[in-house]
Amino acid sequence: MKILFVLSLFVVSIYGQGLVQILKYNGFTVFAGFLESHPELLSRFTQTNDVTIWAPINSAEVPGSSNGRLRVRDPSPADISLMGSTTGPPPDPNVPSKRKRGAVPPLPPSNFVTLRTFLNDSQYVNLGSDQPGRVVSNYVGGAGVATLQVTSGTGDPVDQVSGPFKYDKGLIYGVTSYFTLPKPLFESLTTVGLTEFRDAIVAQGFKKKLSETPGVTIFAPRHCPDKIDISSHVITNGFLGFLPELYDQSARQNPIKTDSGIPIRVTLKDGVFYVNGVRIIRSNIIVQNGVVYEIEKPLY
């Protein structure tokens, strides 16, 4: 009994500790050091409840920081801001933690969850007024061994390697790398190889609109016919269609429509997502002002 009592006190003391202490205790000393050197970011991560911290392992590099013989750079405030997230609307510091209110709601059938990060730098985020950057998480692997994978800028995935570890404001997951910061739409389309669709946007005069409109959703076939209808493949009315939102709204009587008026319905069959019957090859390609889907062929 005495051993159990001492152990319970130890567990409570660990769970009640702050973010930096728990990061260091679990071996994320490099990331903890970066947070300590940016107290304004540390304050943002610790002033509300139900925050998830994605802590890169000590050997993690910042995506895109290696360049031949150049020194790998330290993470910027923007890089660090992307490593903290919440679900749903911004958390209210006056609302008790979910961990104190009862069970967490079950995962949606699609197993994908859109996460609001703490990144609000306009150099990387243009999703609408007061809208922070997003990442999307989902579980990968088989039953009993499933772990989280998080998709960030240009659709780059980052895998969970440890956790969750509790701290006084939320949870910490160890991950293999820093997330990728969102890039402008045209740079992202080039990076992921959707150059035919990129060129069609330019040819039809949509470059300015699709590059500057906040919160766009784009369905981009890898191979485009000469006269593809761009307006049938984009949503620019402010609906931000990451996969969880697209999948959820598809069940409604009045689904979201493309700019040309085509209703969008996303279905899931045998682990594969389809939009209007067209296979989604790659989802949640996150860009500065929205999200892109690579699809197998045009939507019509």
pTM of the model: 0.84
Whether residue 226 is predicted with pLDDT greater than 90 in this model: the reply is no
Q: What is the pLDDT of residues 128-187, one digit of tens each?
A: 988 999 999 998 876 567 789 999 999 999 999 999 999 999 999 999 999 999 999 999
Claim to verify: residue 137 and residue 208 sit in the same structural domain: no
Confidence of residue 47 (pLDDT cuts 50, 70, 90): confident
CA distance 260 to 298: 14
Claim to verify: residue 17 and residue 152 sit in the same structural domain: yes
pLDDT confidence of residue 104: 38
Please check whether residue 215 lies inside any domain of the structure.
yes
Residues 6+ apart with CB under 8 A from 124: 78, 133, 153, 181, 182, 183, 288
CA distance 42 to 36: 7
Whether residue 1 is predicted with pLDDT greater than 80 in this model: the reply is no
207 vs 109: which has the higher pLDDT: 207
249 vs 290: which has the higher pLDDT: 290
- Overall average pLDDT of the 245-252 stretch: 79
Q: Domain ends where: 111, 140, 175? A: 175
Q: Which domain holds residue 191?
A: 185-295
Whether residue 17 is predicted with pLDDT greater than 80 in this model: the reply is no
CA distance 26 to 232: 49
| Nearest alpha carbon to residue 169 among 287, 286, 8, 23 | 23
Q: How many domains does the chain have?
A: 2
Claim to verify: residue 106 and residue 201 sit in the same structural domain: no
CA distance 292 to 217: 6
- 3-state helix vs strand vs coil in the chain, percent to 5: 25, 25, 45
Considering only CA atoms, give the Rg of the chain.
Answer: 21
What's the mean per-residue pLDDT of the chain? 84
- Going edge to edge, which strands form the sheet with 278-287? 234-235, 216-221, 290-295, 278-287, 272-275, 266-269
Claim to verify: residue 69 and residue 190 sit in the same structural domain: no
Please check whether residue 17 lies inside any domain of the structure.
yes
CB 84 within 8 A of CB 171: no
Whether residue 23 is predicted with pLDDT greater than 90 in this model: the reply is yes
Claim to verify: residue 158 and residue 235 sit in the same structural domain: no
pLDDT confidence of residue 247: 86
Q: What is the pLDDT of residues 87-125, one digit of tens each?
A: 754 433 343 444 343 443 443 455 889 999 999 999 999
CA distance 138 to 247: 14
pLDDT confidence of residue 144: 63
Confidence of residue 72 (pLDDT cuts 50, 70, 90): low
CA distance 146 to 139: 6
CA distance 230 to 227: 9
Residue with tokens 């910042």: 62
Claim to verify: residue 126 and residue 157 sit in the same structural domain: yes
Q: What is the pLDDT of residues 255-295, one digit of tens each?
A: 899 999 999 999 988 889 999 999 999 999 999 999 999 99
